[in-house]
Amino acid sequence: MGTATLTKDPYNLIITGVGGQGNVLASRVLGNLLADQGFSITIGETFGASQRGGSVMSHMRISAGESWSPQIPQGQADMVVALEPIEALRVLHTYGHPGVKVISNTRSIYPVGVISGDNKYPSMDELKTIIEDLTESVWFINATDAAMKLGNPIFGNIMMVGALAKTGVLPIDRDGFEKVMLRTMGEKKTPVNLKAFDMGAEMIT
């Protein structure tokens, strides 16, 4: 066990998004980062009706001691990392409480009901107001547009990991991230992921 500590034990983190955004990979990277420091990590994942375009949610329970059940109880999320803004709102409805923190990507992905004209997607201003009212702290970052500068919107998930590191709510850092990347992605893919991590961190002010 390392010397890093948690602000709360277990620390309950939810990563949410839609299929195709790299939600599961982000949870695996974070899990490896924290496990390397000796923490006990439990991850539970739920998928929407379709894997691509449907809701995807990873529950992470991080503890210095015992292993916890993978499902975070309702109203007990400590941090929500949302790859899509309406998914942040969906998660907060069930797992939020006044002390929860949120990092949300601002790029919307319209569900079928919106594309077909049956439903209306809220404006980003409307979403920001609602999410701010439901949280203690929230950071909105345009990870998808930044990821496009690296050639692929999928890097948005790693940018969110970098943003999470910068908030300081969990004991994760760039050196630990690099070790995980080298072990899981290899030397060829590590530099671009490090760049994505750094770009995400720079968006947290």
* pLDDT, tens digit, 9 for 90 and up, residues 75-101: 999 999 999 999 999 999 999 999 999
What gap in Å lies between CA 104 and CA 109, rounded to an integer?
A: 13
Q: What is the overall mean pLDDT for the chain?
A: 92
What is the CA 176 to chain-centroid distance, rounded?
Answer: 17
pLDDT digits (tens, 9 = 90+) for 13-71: 999 999 888 888 999 999 999 999 999 999 998 766 555 567 889 999 999 998 899 99
166 or 56, which is more confident? 166
Q: Is residue 194 part of a domain?
A: yes
Q: What is the pTM of this model?
A: 0.93
- Picking from 30, 55, 32, 35, the residue whose alpha carbon sits closest to that of residue 45 is 55
What gap in Å lies between CA 41 and CA 127, rounded to an integer?
A: 31
Domain of residue 140, residue span: 11-202
Q: Is residue 2 part of a domain?
A: no
**Contacts within 8 Å (CB) and 24+ apart, 87-96:** 87/16, 87/17, 87/18, 87/55, 87/57, 88/16, 88/127, 88/131, 89/127, 89/130, 89/131, 89/134, 90/16, 90/55, 91/14, 91/16, 91/57, 92/131, 92/134, 92/135, 95/12, 95/14, 96/134, 96/135
Q: Is residue 106 part of a domain?
A: yes
| Whole-Å CA distances, 150 to 20, 40, 128, 155, 160 | 17, 33, 26, 8, 14
pLDDT of residue 190 exceeding 60, the answer is: yes
Q: Is residue 38 part of a domain?
A: yes
pLDDT of residue 185 exceeding 60, the answer is: yes
Mean pLDDT over residues 160-170, rounded?
A: 97
What gap in Å lies between CA 161 and CA 170, rounded to an integer?
A: 11
**Residue 171: per-residue pLDDT:** 95
**Residue 2: per-residue pLDDT:** 63
The CA-based diameter of the chain, rounded to the nearest angstrom, is: 53
Q: Is residue 4 part of a domain?
A: no
pLDDT of residue 152 exceeding 80, the answer is: yes
Domain with 126 in it: what CATH number?
Answer: 3.40.920.10
Domain count, the chain: 1
pLDDT digits (tens, 9 = 90+) for 99-140: 999 999 999 998 888 888 988 999 999 999 999 999 999 999
**Residue 53: per-residue pLDDT:** 61
Structure tokens at 196: 């994505």
Q: Is residue 59 part of a domain?
A: yes
Q: Is residue 128 part of a domain?
A: yes
Q: Is residue 99 part of a domain?
A: yes
| Whole-Å CA distances, 1 to 10, 30, 32, 164 | 16, 17, 14, 22
**Residue 21: per-residue pLDDT:** 87
Q: What percent of the chain has pLDDT over 70?
A: 96
Structure tokens at 20: 């195709």
